[in-house]
Amino acid sequence: MNIEVCASPDLSGLFDLEGKVAVVVDILRATSCMTAGIAEGVSAIRPVSDLEVCRGLMSEDYVGAAERNGAKVDGFDIGNSPFSYMDPEMKGAKVAVTTTNGTVAIERSKSAERIIIGSFLNLSSVASYVRKLGLDVVIVCAGWKGRPNLEDTLFAGALAEKLAGNYESSCDSLLMAKVLWEKAKLDLSALVYKSAHVARLKRLNIGKDIELCMEIDRYGVVPEVNAEGEIVKAIF
Ligand SMILES: O=C(O)[C@H](CS(=O)(=O)O)OP(=O)(O)O
């Protein structure tokens, strides 16, 4: 099996996703929110890239989650904090979500055979599920506004390490991710705290969110986009 890394959604046109599994990752914070939400009992999450489409879904029984530039958008129920998704009141709820980078990455992965949601929170479960699917893999990093970022690239390296032995690659982005992960894995937070994304989010006072998003294997679930375009818990 082959594994590649698409370092930003703006590079997705260079990748042929047909017949492959896309593992979409946006560590800070969209795919960490989705993992936490599905693990804690949210029944389905509908990712949309357009703010007004997301607003419209609120009249169809969806909880509306919207974030732009890190902040909750006025008029929506929640923003982009994993703790909002983990609220006991969210059990059984359906969420419609739009974020600056994460939902764009999901949208751009639509031609893949399967789209699964990765984060440090469910790293080992994603690796097990990917191995079980037995398809070629493209790790699609959400990055930041078209640019690659540190934390999503680190996740790519971590997943590649978990899949070693089953997968081969001639992708330099993957090699770069693996080298970076190897250097950072003993103190992941120390490096991520130096990232541009953390610096941008600091003004929002969300240190707790960042800490949670760095936790490895807190959950054993894999959220997956189903035929209706909703993210639900994969059964495997
Ligand atoms: O809310 C977040 O964590 C980020 C904010 S931004 O990238 O700095 O605008 O959004 P996300 O879509 O989860 O990367």
Would you say the CB of residue 80 lies under 6 angstroms from ligand 1? Answer: yes
Q: How confident is the model over 104-140, as pLDDT tens digits?
A: 999 999 999 999 999 999 999 999 999 999 999 999 9
From the CB of 29, is ligand 1 less than 6 Å away?
yes
Ligand 1 centroid, distance to 166 Cα (angstroms): 32
Q: How far apart are CA 70 and CA 48, in angstroms?
A: 16
Residue 202 pLDDT > 90 = no
Q: Which of 61-65, 87-91, 169-173, 224-228 has the lowest mean pLDDT?
A: 169-173
Please report whether residue 64 resides in a domain. Answer: yes
Q: CB of 84 closer than 6 A to ligand 1?
A: no
Ligand 1 nearest-atom number relative to CA 144: 7
For residue 117, being part of any structural domain is answered with yes
CATH number at residue 13: 3.90.1560.10
CA distances from 18 to 7, 10, 14, 131, 160 (A): 18, 17, 12, 18, 20
pLDDT at 81 over 90: yes
Per-residue pLDDT tens over the stretch 49-68? 999 999 999 999 999 999 99
Give the mean model confidence (pLDDT) for residues 78-94. 98
**Inside any domain, residue 231:** no
Residue 235 domain flag? no
Residue in 10, 27, 29 to alter for ligand 1 test, most ligand atoms within 8 A of Cβ: 29
Residue among 85, 99, 205, 206 to mutate when testing ligand 1 (max atoms within 8 A of CB): 99
In degrees and rounded to multiples of 5, residue 6 shows phi and psi of: -100, 110
What pLDDT, in 10s, does the model give residues 131-176? Answer: 999 999 999 999 999 999 999 999 999 999 999 988 888 899 999 9
206 CA from centroid of ligand 1 (Å): 12
- pTM score: 0.97
CB-based contacts of 173, cutoff 8 Å, min separation 6: 4, 5, 6, 7, 153, 156
Task: Look at residue 45 and tell me if it is in a domain.
Answer: yes
Number of domains in the chain: 1
pLDDT above 70 covers a percentage of the chain that reads: 100
Residue 218 inside a domain? The answer is: yes
The answer to whether 12 and 141 are in contact (CB under 8 A) is no
Residue minimizing CA distance to atom 5 of ligand 1:
70
Q: For the chain, what is the mean pLDDT?
A: 96
Neighbours of 86 (CB within 10 A): 17
Q: Is residue 37 part of a domain?
A: yes
Q: Looking at the domain assignment, is residue 211 inside a domain?
A: yes
| Residue-number span of the structural domain to which 185 is assigned | 3-226
Please tell me the predicted confidence (pLDDT) of residue 88: 98
The verdict on the CB of residue 30 being under 6 Å from ligand 1 is: yes
Asked whether 200 lines ligand 1 (CB < 6 A), one says yes
State the pLDDT at residue 203: 84
Residue 211's pLDDT is what? 96
Contact between 29 and 80 under an 8 Å Cβ cutoff? The reply is yes
Percent of the chain with pLDDT strictly greater than 90: 94
